[in-house]
Structure 1
Amino acid sequence: MPIADRPESWPVGSSEDLHRDGWVVALRSDQVRLPGADGNGKGAPFRRLVVEHPGAAIVLAIDEDGRVPCLQQYRHPAQISFVELPAGLCDEPGEDALEVAKRELREEVELAADEWVHLASVWASPGISAEQHHLYLARGLTPASRGDFALHAEEAEMEVFRAPFDELYAAVLDGRIADAPIALALLLARAKGLA
């Protein structure tokens, strides 16, 4: 048998919305049963909380000097101002992740790219969330207007800067940068020989 994830779906006896307000995420409680449970005490239903999330695209852009456009952005749940890459939610169901990546690069750091490479699509925390991250490498950077997009909330206070790839990579390895998407993007780009 090959070593690989495989699609699978276990029966859900009931599902209850615990929070749903039409914004980005929702929280529900599912009563899940083991496949083939016979109802005689074997495989009794168990509760699992599920955070519904539309997914996100993350962009590791590298300029001609080997520098990476980054953000320093406050994240309230962790109460940390993280070094991050341009990223954003897949706002619409079925929205193409590459198009989201292009939009976020433009809106957050006012850049466009000529070359795009899909690094990976990974699940952020599959034990509780349906959030998937689509990681891209972008090259051939040129200035681009964010158009009528207005920065708000945490974005309005984020700092934009460029850092050498090797310095960011070292900061991930020694724990100074702990945001999972930037760490994974840097490690993947280096492992694939792309940076």
Structure 2
Amino acid sequence: MAEASLADLRAERPVLATHERFEGKVWNVASDEVDLGEAGEVTRDYLRHTGAVVIIAMDDADRVYLVRQYRHPVSAECWEPPAGLLDVSGESPVDAARRELHEEADLTASEWHTLVDYYPSGGSSSEAVRIFLARGIGEVPADERHVRTDEESDMLGAWVALDDAVDAVMDGRIHASSAVAGFLAADHARRSGYATLRAADAPWMRPEATRLQR
């Protein structure tokens, strides 16, 4: 296989009908009747998702910032990088990442790069995630910090050596997909001397038709 051909392709199939099955606070569930050509017509149920950003905030000592947050569907308090939904109309992904880093970690960053993009569950959700590497870390002044509520109200935060975070992923102690993808990608970037980093606004194959913004 030629190296240039090893890439996902935008390849939409005709949608004959869409049925909105559920409309929730954060995302919706839809059923599409899809024409696969010779393979016939099928119905596919999926989560219609806004997309999300994740931030690997790394300081000069190669430590990354993690938060521990309750995740109800898996009944666990998970260690994860700061993250959030792309649900603000007109807000760019990197600006959303800046906002989430401020709100969840009380941190700022002067240097932003795209680290890795992924689909957490392309067979059942339209969610696309972009993970940023944020460096040049500073602290948000105490009087400008975000007041966290709901599951975020008792969220813990900690700086952890990147090597220790990678070990926790590989040992099966950390399970969040954002942590698995983010920490392994950050380790790969570091080993390359950060040559693999892309611009913060690099092209992104994010499903356009499923953006649900407020």
TM-score by length of 2: 0.82
* Letter aligned with residue 139 of structure 2: P
- In the alignment, which residue of structure 2 is the partner of 1:117? 113
Q: Any idea what SS the aligned residue of 2:64 has?
A: strand
Unaligned runs of 5+ in 1: 38-42
Over the residues paired in the alignment, what is the CA RMSD in angstroms?
A: 1.8
Alignment length (residue pairs) = 188
Q: Pick one of 67, 86, 91 that aligns with 1:90.
A: 86
- In the alignment, which residue of structure 2 is the partner of 1:155? 152
Select the structure that is richer in helix: 2
Distance in structure 2 (CA, Å) of the matches to 1:149 and 1:44: 51
Cα drift, residue 93 of structure 1: 4.4
Alignment CA distance shift 1:93-1:51 (3 Å): farther
Q: Any idea what SS the aligned residue of 2:166 has?
A: helix
Alignment CA distance shift 1:72-1:59 (3 Å): same
* Letter aligned with residue 10 of structure 1: R
Q: Any idea what SS the aligned residue of 1:65 has?
A: coil
Cα drift, residue 46 of structure 1: 1.2
Give % identity: 32
- 1:49 to 2:51 alignment: no
TM-score by length of 1: 0.89
Q: Any idea what SS the aligned residue of 2:110 has?
A: strand
Does the CA contact (< 8 Å) of 1:54 and 1:93 recur in 2?
Answer: no
- In the alignment, which residue of structure 2 is the partner of 1:28? 30
Does the CA contact (< 8 Å) of 2:57 and 2:135 recur in 1?
Answer: yes
Return the structure number with greater relative CO, CA threshold 8 A, min gap 6. 2
* Letter aligned with residue 139 of structure 1: R
- In the alignment, which residue of structure 2 is the partner of 1:6? 9
* Letter aligned with residue 81 of structure 2: L
* Letter aligned with residue 65 of structure 1: A
- In the alignment, which residue of structure 2 is the partner of 1:180? 177
Query: Which digits, 9 at most, give the CA deviation of each residue in 1:56-78, with x for residues without a partner?
Result: 11011111222211111110001
* Letter aligned with residue 30 of structure 2: R
Distance in structure 1 (CA, Å) of the matches to 2:116 and 2:28: 25
- 1:190 to 2:190 alignment: no
Does the CA contact (< 8 Å) of 1:61 and 1:69 recur in 2?
Answer: yes
Unaligned runs of 5+ in 2: 195-214
Alignment CA distance shift 1:144-1:192 (3 Å): same
Larger radius of gyration: 1
